Chain A
Amino acid sequence: MTMTLARFQHLLDVHGADLARWPPPQRAAAERLLAADRTATSALAQARALHALIARETPAEADATGVLRALAARPLPPQRRRFLWRQWPSDLLTFDFVPAWPRVAALAGVAALGFVIGLVDLGPMTVGANGEDTASIVADNDIGAVVFAPDPLPEAHP
């Protein structure tokens, strides 16, 4: 991958003049450009000079004594407490859904349990006391009668 001088200058501004802090692929391309192009070397020198200039811009050492004294001189205001009934939307939004596998496993387990219970209970219900198939009895009945009749499946009883 070749790098243009304009791209090199842009990356100098983005990542700084210390090439060691650049992403490796871009650093390798930049080093090839530096070996071949003196203008790139000059741009790097200028970026280093700018870095040194900015870094040395040190205002008088920050003395926070005054701030801390002012804070200590007066009582602290009351804190804003969280109300449980107000925080549920944010709790829901920030809920950590990862890892999801225990919940997925629990859901699958419940589904499997329901399936097994269904299989166990379905046997006696699908065959009437006289051996007739209750499923076909249901199928033969008018669906309105099944839903609304007080006793929609009299044939299914023993």
Chain B
Amino acid sequence: MDGASDEELMLRIATGDEPAFRVLARRYAPLALRLARRVMGSSADAEEIVQEALLRLWVNAPRWRPVASYRTWFYRVVINLCLNRKRRAPFLPIEEASDPADPTPDAAAGMERREIDRALAAAVAELPERQRAAIALTYHEGLSNAETAAALGTSVSAVETLLVRAKRTLRQRLGPMLDVGSK
């Protein structure tokens, strides 16, 4: 069953096939968790959102229709849950976010890298949610602008506007680092 396509698994899940659901959950939970973390900025919230998204997948599977890519549909569920939660709760201050692990042996280089990561995380965290979601879907999930539009439930031109605004903001906030990076 592990080799079955997403759509085949969804058709099985629609008939109440629990093992098929477990296979699809194993396949998509890490991707959904990564996406939710980027949009929410909090691991705890992201885990709750992914659980909720997977339960919705199970509950609504009989109503799912294979008119769109499963991946895009599931990303849309995750993004909608993230945006709904964002409307209810304030964003976690960046100081509370944990530092990413640093494998660099050199302490100075590691410190500089952490500084850049922190500045980048702060700049991304200050973007509006939909801009952050557009960046996460296109840069990190590798979706095209059209797929991102489907996942966000909007038009391609609206996604392009989100990307332009997000990158303009990031350029303004990360200007000196970009000069360093472009050398």
Contacts and interface: CB of A to CB of B under 8 A. Distances in A.
Interface of A: 10, 13-16, 42, 45-55, 57-60, 62-64, 66-68, 70-72, 76-82, 94
Given A14-B145, A76-B55, A79-B58, A46 B171 contact: yes
Contacts of B59: 77-80
Given A14-B160, A81-B62, A53 B51 contact: no
A47 B62 CA distance: 44
Contact of A80 (B22, B25, B62, B140): B62
Contacts of B50: 64, 67
Contact of A67 (B54, B60, B145): B54
Given A46-B182, A80-B59, A67 B47 contact: yes
B33 A62 contact: yes
A71 B55 contact: yes
Contacts of B160: 13-14
Contacts of A57: 117, 120-121, 124
Contact of A50 (B38, B58, B61, B174): B174
B174 A82 contact: no
Contacts, number: 115
The secondary-structure label for the interface of chain B is helix
Contact of A94 (B37, B62, B65, B163): B65
B117 to A, nearest CB: 7
Interface in B161-183: 163-164, 167-168, 170-171, 174, 177-182
A57 B58 CA distance: 32
B135 interface: yes
A4 B168 CA distance: 18
Nearest to A64: B29
Nearest to B32: A64
19 contacts: A13-B168, A42-B182, A49-B177, A49-B179, A54-B139, A59-B38, A59-B43, A62-B30, A62-B33, A67-B47, A67-B54, A68-B22, A68-B25, A71-B54, A76-B55, A79-B16, A80-B60, A82-B63, A94-B67
Interface residues of B, number: 56
Contacts of A79: 14, 16, 58-62
Given A60-B100, A79-B16, A13 B25 contact: no
Contacts of B167: 13, 47, 50
Contacts of A64: 26, 29-30, 32-33, 50
Contact of B182 (A48, A68, A78): A48
Contact of A45 (B47, B61, B170, B182): B182
Task: Pick from A67, A68, A76 the residue with the most CB of B within 10 Å.
Answer: A67
B34 A54 contact: no
B116 interface: yes
B1 interface: no
B6 to A, nearest CB: 16
